[in-house]
Amino acid sequence: MKKSDNYLPVTGKEKNTDVDLVNTKSRSNESIPLKNLYADDAPLYIQQGPYFSDGQRRIDYVLVYPIQKPSSIRRQSSKFSDNSFMQRIRRSFSTKNSRAPLQPKEDPEIAAQEHQADYHEDDKRIMREDFEKKLLETGLELEKDEESKIPGMGFLKIHAPWNILCREAEFMKLKMPTKKVYDVKQGSNVVEKVRLFIHKVTAPLHPKVDANRLQSIKPLSHPYTREKQHLFDLSDRDQFFDSKTRSSIVYEVVKRTKCTRAKYSMGITSLLANSVYLSGYPLHDGDIEGVNAEPNDRKLLYEEWACYSVFYKYQPIGLIRKYFGEKVGLYFAWLGVYTQMLIPAAIIGVIVFLYGCATVDENIPSMEICDERNNITMCPLCDRVCSYWKLETACGTARASHLFDNPATVFFSIFMALWAVLFMEHWKRRQMRLNYVWDLTGFGEEEQDHNRAEYEFRVMKKMGKKEHKTKDKKVKLTCTDRLPAYLTTVVMMAFLIVVTFAIVFGVILYRISIKAALHMSTYPAARANIRATVKTTAAIINLIIIIILDEVYAAIARWLTILEVPKTDKSFEERLIFKTFILKFVNAFTPIVYLAFFRGRLVGRPGNYLYVIGSYRMEECAHAGCLMELCIQLCITMLGKQLIQNNLFEIGIPKLKKLLRRRKSELDSKEEEELNRTMQRYEKDHFLGPFVGISPEYMEMIIQFGMVTLFVASFPLAPLFALLNNIIEIRLDAKKFVKELRRPIAVKAKDIGIWYNLLRGLSKVAVIVNAFVISFTSDFIPRLVYQYKYSSDGTMHGFVNHTLSFFNVTDFQPGTEPLDSMHLGYKVEVCRYKDYREPPWSSIPYELSKDFWAILAVRLAFVIVFQNVVMLMSDFVDWLIPDIPKDISLQMHKEKILMVELFMKEEQGKRLAALDNYSQDKCTYSSSDNQSLPQPRSRPASHIN
Handedness of CA 256, 259, 265, 267 (dihedral sign): negative
Residue 619 domain flag: yes
Interval 857-873: pLDDT, tens? 999 999 999 989 988 98
Within this chain, do residues 275 and 419 fall inside the same structural domain, yes or no? no
Q: Report percent pLDDT > 90 for the chain.
A: 20
31 or 745: which carries more pLDDT confidence? Answer: 745
Q: Give the pLDDT score at 31.
A: 38
Within this chain, do residues 630 and 771 fall inside the same structural domain, yes or no? yes
SS3 212: helix
CA atoms within 13 A on the CB side of 801: 11
Interval 624-664: pLDDT, tens? 667 778 888 888 888 888 777 767 777 777 777 767 766 66
Q: Give the pLDDT score at 341.
A: 93
Q: Domain limits at 148? A: 57-66+112-174+232-283
For residue 129, give Cα distances in angstroms to 61, 84, 686: 17, 32, 22
Q: Give the pLDDT score at 905.
A: 81
C-alpha closest to that of 712 among 423, 355, 409? 409
Residue 905 domain flag: no
What's the pTM value of the predicted model, to 2 decimals?
0.83
Q: Give the pLDDT score at 105.
A: 39
Within this chain, do residues 392 and 255 fall inside the same structural domain, yes or no? no
Q: 136 near 154, Cβ under 8 Å?
A: no
811: exposed, middle or buried (Cβ count in 10 Å: 0-12, 13-18, 19+)? middle
Consecutive H or E run containing 780:
helix 780-785
Number of structural domains the chain divides into: 2
Q: What is the CA 82 to chain-centroid distance, rounded?
A: 43
Within this chain, do residues 324 and 265 fall inside the same structural domain, yes or no? no
SS3 98: helix
For residue 377, give Cα distances in angstroms to 394, 442, 820: 12, 72, 14
Report the phi/psi class of residue 478: left, alpha or beta, with left for phi > 0 and alpha for psi in -120 to 50: beta
Residue 700 domain flag: yes
Residue 227 reports pLDDT greater than 60: yes
Single out the residue in 827, 846, 880 at which a domain terminates.
880
Amino acid occupying residue 522: T
CA atoms within 13 A on the CB side of 687: 20
Within this chain, do residues 268 and 373 fall inside the same structural domain, yes or no? no
Q: Give the pLDDT score at 179.
A: 84
Residue 558 domain flag: yes
Sequence-distant (6+) residues with CB within 8 A of 567 are 451, 452, 455, 477
Residue 162 reports pLDDT greater than 70: yes
Q: What radius of gyration do the chain's Cα atoms show? A: 36
SS3 223: strand
Task: Tally Cβ neighbours within 10 Å of residue 226.
Answer: 10
Task: Tally Cβ neighbours within 10 Å of residue 898.
Answer: 15
Within this chain, do residues 272 and 321 fall inside the same structural domain, yes or no? no
Within this chain, do residues 483 and 391 fall inside the same structural domain, yes or no? yes
Residue 594 domain flag: yes
868 or 152: which carries more pLDDT confidence? Answer: 868
Residue 573 domain flag: yes
SS3 908: helix
Within this chain, do residues 556 and 619 fall inside the same structural domain, yes or no? yes
Q: Phi, psi (5° rounding) for residue 101? A: -65, -15
Within this chain, do residues 336 and 241 fall inside the same structural domain, yes or no? no
Q: Give the pLDDT score at 937.
A: 43
Lowest mean pLDDT among 86-100, 279-293, 628-642, 835-849: 86-100
Q: Which residues pair with 576 in a beta bridge?
A: none
Consecutive H or E run containing 377:
strand 377-378
C-alpha closest to that of 458 among 270, 259, 278? 270
d(CA 687, CA 657): 13
Q: Give the pLDDT score at 16.
A: 37
Compute the average pLDDT of residues 916-939. 55
Within this chain, do residues 658 and 704 fall inside the same structural domain, yes or no? yes
Q: Give the pLDDT score at 469.
A: 53
Q: Give the pLDDT score at 814.
A: 84
266 or 29: which carries more pLDDT confidence? Answer: 266
Within this chain, do residues 389 and 457 fall inside the same structural domain, yes or no? yes
Q: 549 near 587, Cβ under 8 Å?
A: yes
Q: What letters, b where the CB count within 10 A reaches 16 and e where it falls short, cover 466-490?
A: eeeeeeeeebebeeeebeebeeebe
Handedness of CA 600, 604, 609, 615 (dihedral sign): negative
Residue 833 domain flag: no
d(CA 163, CA 577): 39
Q: 270 near 148, Cβ under 8 Å?
A: no
Sequence-distant (6+) residues with CB within 8 A of 915 are none
Q: Give the pLDDT score at 337.
A: 94
Residue 351 reports pLDDT greater than 90: yes
Residue 827 domain flag: no
Give the mean pLDDT of the chain: 78
Within this chain, do residues 249 and 348 fall inside the same structural domain, yes or no? no
Confidence of residue 467 (pLDDT cuts 50, 70, 90): low
Single out the residue in 242, 264, 283 at which a domain terminates.
283
Q: Where are the alpha helices (DSSP H) in 360-452?
A: 364-370, 395-404, 408-437
Q: 285 near 323, Cβ under 8 Å?
A: yes
d(CA 262, CA 567): 22
Confidence of residue 884 (pLDDT cuts 50, 70, 90): confident
Q: Give the pLDDT score at 530.
A: 75
